[in-house]
Chain A
Amino acid sequence: MTFPNPPDIREATAARQGSDPAISPAASSVVVEARKLSLVYPTADKPVTALSEVDLTIARGDFVSLIGPSGCGKTTLLRVIADLERPTSGHVAIEGMTPEQARLKRLYGYVFQAPALYPWRTVERNVMLPLEIMGLPKAERQKRAREQLERVGLSGFERKFPWQLSGGMQQRVSIARALALQPDLLLMDEPFGALDEITRDHLNLHLTQLWRATGKTCVFVTHSIAEAVFLSTRIVVMSPRPGRILDVIDCDSLPRERTLDIRESPEFAAIAHRVREGLKEGHSYDD
């Protein structure tokens, strides 16, 4: 990581860690760092503030969920981290780099709301797409694609076309495609939002196992409280107009290894309650 930090982020990091920011081992435990992040869309009648003064630190190995009602800027925040959107003011750093540098170095894998598979490519060639762009040799591309498809439980579907697969399977292909890049950071924007609840539970279980097995840092946008609590180590509650962070909840009371039955536990209920209270607060502000 040879890119210099923007000065104020270095300050912020230094202030938080109280040590030399440049190469301290602690500094590398921060994957995403956002300071006073604001984004204003110009629209026809009046500008819309999608993000207002957002501060957020995401540590390595964390599973962070961004939750909030529609229009709260959770997707926008994720897109700013991915450099799909430019903030109006404030700073973001990914592994100490600007989002653009991080994107060009392909430091993150992004899973979109829709699978966004290319219909003219087979499942396997869809997973190989980012690897083609990276310029990997064919044998390596194929090896990695096979590995990741196996990881999401889709071995044997390599030669199928996306439209021959169910919605849940398509979204698993898109997760495999993001994983094929072997990024340390996985950004997921309501990946299971369009799926039925049974498929969703199944994929959540799958995702949490995947996360524990790979040790990746995940940022997960959702509007489902149960999903957020089930998956996360930390939950960021956001509210709309203007998009801002209301509460950051640590889920330390839940074990790191999650099974579907932890959803019945009192700890789970307590966290879910706090998330719900936070969301309610955001709404009263809105009305």
Chain B
Amino acid sequence: MSEAMTNPYRTSLRSAADWGLVAVALPALAALALPLGSQDGAPVGWFGGTMAPLFLIGVVLAVIAGRSAPKRVWGAWAELAGVTLAWLLPFHLLEEGMDLSAGWGLWLFLVAATLLLWRVMGVLAGVPGWTRSVIVPGLFGLGLLVGWEVLVRGFQVPAILLPPPSRIAAALGANAPVLWDDFRQTVLTSVLRGYVMGCGAGFLVAILADRVPFLARGLLPLGNLASAIPVVGIAPIMVMWFGFDWQSKAAVIVVMTFFPMLINTLAGLGNSERIQLDLMRSYGAGYGRTLVKLRLPSALPFLFNGLKINSTLALIGAIVAEFFGTPVVGMGFRISTEVARMNLDIVWATIAVAALTGSGLYGALALLERLTTAWHPSMRRR
């Protein structure tokens, strides 16, 4: 393999045999003998009047180009084009009105294409910079979406069970104003306020409990209790206490996020080493100086841990709490009403918004953590 990379002429027999490619080619060859799908109940083969042969030729050409490329990475890009072409074939067949559920030749062909993609990703993951950090995970995600789309449409899974991503995207577009209102109500109003209040209170009480030992002793067991409270139990009570609007959602979020933040902050404050504390003492630094200059900076990794856990907890809390009463807007409200109306596309669209919001919050916190705790051993040289 290494010789194949350094010697562009590849004269030796051993390096000439690309066993990975053989593993890809075998299922692809087997696929040629099987039907692509059926039209009006009759099976259709590879050469049954569709444009499938053109796709096949394109893929073969791409693989040949990939094999003969002077650089391994260029070859990978050519092979990636082949993979793309192969995965476009089912879309073409669906356009032709074919039923793909019995098209084992097609599925086997796609298995081969996926193996080829594996090869490509293996090469691209070794390229430093944007390729490795953005393109590879992006291709991975795109691959999953395309696989989902093709499988759901090819096997004609009812949309009520699982709609294809394209339909979810269409629902997202068609209902954008409603979804935006939901997002504003749930995320921008309830989640952000509840999150800031819960995390802020947890942080401040932790600092107090750190000074007053009996508070820590009394609160930590309560934290275990509180983390065992199911959100579906607390949410209706909070709605009764604080009404239908964002206040009750914020209250649920505060209950859910307060203790994780408290526990993480306390752990973080206890993270300073004896010798570092002695150093501050030798400088005659008092409690406040020691807190600001030493204990809080060294607690940062723990604080971010709490903040990250809470970012997902807060979103879940708000959405579940909206099941128990809300003004007629909000992501939880949307899910509960649209499920009842069997409007699963909108439910999936809301789930997509929630997932994107959750990972967005988490990602923003992770980025902030990387910026502020670049000194920490877990972050160094990454």
Residues of A with Cβ closer than 8 Å to B? 82-84, 103-106, 108-110, 112-114, 116, 118-120, 129-130, 132-134, 161, 163, 181
| B128 on the A face (CB < 8 A) | no
List chain B residues, Cβ under 8 A from A83.
Answer: 281
- What are the interface flags for B257-284 relative to A under an 8 Å C-beta threshold, 1 for contact and 0 otherwise? 0000000000000000101101111111
Q: How far is the CA of A103 from the CA of B285 in the complex (A)?
A: 10
List chain B residues, Cβ under 8 A from A105.
Answer: 284
| 10 further A-B pairs in the complex, CB-CB below 8 A; given A103-B281, A133-B285 | A83-B281, A105-B284, A106-B283, A116-B273, A120-B297, A120-B300, A129-B293, A133-B283, A163-B380, A181-B283
Closest to B373 in A: A120
| B219 on the A face (CB < 8 A) | no
Contact in complex: B293, A163 (CB < 8 Å): no
Q: What's the least CB distance linking B280 to chain A, in Å?
A: 8
15 A-B interface contacts by CB (under 8 A): A84-B281, A84-B282, A103-B284, A104-B284, A110-B282, A116-B273, A118-B276, A118-B298, A120-B298, A120-B375, A129-B283, A132-B293, A133-B283, A161-B375, A163-B377
List chain A residues, Cβ under 8 A from B300.
Answer: 120
Interface size for chain B: under 10, 10 to 19, 20 to 34, or 35 or more residues?
A: 20 to 34
Closest to A109 in B: B282
User: Which B136-172 residues have C-beta < 8 A from chain A?
Assistant: none
Contact in complex: B293, A116 (CB < 8 Å): no
Q: What's the least CB distance linking B290 to chain A, in Å?
A: 9
Contact in complex: B380, A116 (CB < 8 Å): no
B contacts with A: majority SS: helix
Contact in complex: A118, B294 (CB < 8 Å): yes
- What are the interface flags for B285-304 relative to A under an 8 Å C-beta threshold, 1 for contact and 0 otherwise? 10001000110011010000
Choose from A103, A114, A133 the contact partner of B289 (Cβ within 8 Å): A133
Q: What's the least CB distance linking A120 to chain B, in Å?
A: 4
Q: What's the least CB distance linking A75 to chain B, in Å?
A: 11
Q: How far is the CA of A112 from the CA of B298 in the complex (A)?
A: 19
List chain B residues, Cβ under 8 A from A181.
Answer: 283
The 3 A-B pairs at the shortest CB distance, nearest first, are namely: A120-B375, A104-B284, A119-B375
List chain A residues, Cβ under 8 A from B273.
Answer: 116
Q: How far is the CA of A214 from the CA of B300 in the complex (A)?
A: 39
Choose from B276, B293, B377, B380 the contact partner of A133 (Cβ within 8 Å): B293
Q: What's the least CB distance linking B370 to chain A, in Å?
A: 13
Q: What's the least CB distance linking A182 to chain B, in Å?
A: 13
Q: How far is the CA of A134 from the CA of B293 in the complex (A)?
A: 13
List chain A residues, Cβ under 8 A from B375.
Answer: 119-120, 161, 163
User: Which B180-209 residues have C-beta < 8 A from chain A?
Assistant: none
Contact in complex: A110, B279 (CB < 8 Å): yes
List chain A residues, Cβ under 8 A from B373.
Answer: 120
